[in-house]
Amino acid sequence: MNETQVADRVNWVGYVDWSIRDFHGYETTRGSSYNAYLIQDEKNTLIDTVKGPYADDLLRNIQRHITLDKLDYIVCNHAEPDHSGALPVVMASCPQVELICDAKCKATLERYYDIRHWKIRVVKSGDSISIGAYSLQFLETPMAHWPESMATYLPECKLLFSMDAFGQHYATSGRFDDSVPLAVVLEEAKIYYANILMCYERPVNNALDAVKSLAPEILAPSHGIIWRTQVDKILSAYADWSVCKADRKVVILYDTMWQSTAKMAHTLYETVVDSGVQCKLISIRATHITDIVTECLDAAAIAVGSPTLNQTLMPQVAAALTYLMGLKPSGKSGFAFGSYGWGKGGPEAVNEYLEKMKFNILREPLKCQYAPDEQALAACREAGGLLVKAAELVG
């Protein structure tokens, strides 16, 4: 098998985006790929398309296998433009083609594109279409990632086109999990999960149950590498991530103006590390939000520090907490900390975010005026003990 062959008469025909570094705000340091797949059978079927600007690349890849007039079906599993953007060009270039999608997907595509002249067949969970030797089974997975998200199963190959689930923003010349270092692909899958799917716990769990009952041998997501030798590894990683399972790990996030909140953060950090618990000390202004939320995914306890600026928290802390709050990390413990000069503001505002995120709040905001003295640092060491205790509750 070559690097594009996923199964007998099933080929990857997508686009590897080596240069993308910003995916709607998600920092994609290793690039990405938009995966589309061509199944050659009595009815030639394309599974998804690519981002709009790469429509011609997709058409060229399809034509390595068939001429465009021979394409019978396109399955659209997800209307988000990174996968549907090339649809208008592909629909216009393939005279025979019929689009297959669920009802919500059709309604969403209609908002993005002029679909009046498209031949469309609406399917739902449990439907199956024979395409010759192979058949397509559809499995709606609402909210993993959008309401209309769907996965398509090719039972004869035990191959699941899983859409965004199990994907990674990872540009590689190899297409499979055995052609890249496992640690790297798992890291990218975790970053992807934290930034794209963390907020959809229940829908992801529903999708996982459905996937497990199919017992697929190949998972072909819409981004990154295809899982075929490490299917168990990614499924068990998803089982953990989908419940925000905590490690014995503490995360300390902070911003600082004149090093006071930084000193508090360092003192918390030392206390945690001295008691043998893993800890990440993260300067919010030096770290991309993509990495901040990834570190929070499997943290047991998270302390968030902000000095008081104009009677509220620092803007970058607000940005990071706004992003984290939308991703709804569940079951986290923590507290707010930070310095102030003459009025209230920073730590109190952080505490409000933690309350909204339903943190198990370990103590009232830990504060120091202007600069931490020995007494304030002693209070930090004591508060660090609460983080340690929360982490040690994890088995």
Q: Which CB atom, from 213 or from 375, has the smaller least distance to another protein?
A: 213
Percentages of the chain per state (helix, strand, coil), in multiples of 5: 40, 25, 35
Among 121, 202, 356, 381, binds another protein (CB under 8 A): 202
Q: Which CB atom, from 176 or from 192, has the smaller least distance to Fe ion?
A: 192
Q: What angle do CA 373, 375, 381 make, to 5 degrees?
A: 105
- Closest distance of CB 205 from another protein, Å: 12
Work out whether 203 is an interface residue with another protein (CB under 8 A): yes
Q: Which of 41, 164, 177, 298 is catalytic?
A: 164
Work out whether 145 is an interface residue with Fe ion (CB under 5 A): yes
Among residues 303, 359, 297, 313, the alpha carbon closest in space to that of 332 is found at: 359
Q: Give the one entry of Fe ion, another protein, none that residue 200 binds, where binding means its C-beta sits below a cut-off of 5 to 8 angstroms depending on kind.
A: another protein
Among 41, 102, 148, 164, binds Fe ion (CB under 5 A): 164
Q: Which of 54, 73, 153, 223 is catalytic?
A: 223
Q: Which CB atom, from 201 or from 240, has the smaller least distance to another protein?
A: 201
Q: Report d(CA 294, CA 325) in Å as an integer.
A: 13
Q: Which residue has the tokens 């995914």?
A: 297
Q: How far is CA 81 from the centre of its chain?
A: 16
Other beta carbons within 10 angstroms of residue 148's beta carbon come to 23
Cβ proximity of 10 and 38 under 8 Å: yes
Cβ proximity of 108 and 77 under 8 Å: no
Among 57, 72, 80, 348, binds Fe ion (CB under 5 A): 80
Q: Give the one entry of another protein, Fe ion, none that residue 82 binds, where binding means its C-beta sits below a cut-off of 5 to 8 angstroms depending on kind.
A: Fe ion
Work out whether 23 is an interface residue with another protein (CB under 8 A): no
Work out whether 104 is an interface residue with Fe ion (CB under 5 A): no
Residues 6+ apart with CB under 8 A from 283: 254, 255, 256, 262
Alpha helices in the chain (DSSP H): 55-63, 81-84, 87-93, 103-112, 182-192, 201-214, 231-241, 260-274, 289-297, 315-326, 346-356, 374-392
Q: Which of 145, 169, 238, 340 is catalytic?
A: 145
- Closest distance of CB 48 from another protein, Å: 21
Work out whether 358 is an interface residue with another protein (CB under 8 A): yes
Contacts with Fe ion, residue ranges (CB under 5 A): 80, 82, 145, 164
Q: Which residues are catalytic?
A: 24, 78, 80, 82, 145, 164, 192, 223
Contacts with another protein, residue ranges (CB under 8 A): 104, 142-143, 147, 200, 202-203, 206, 358
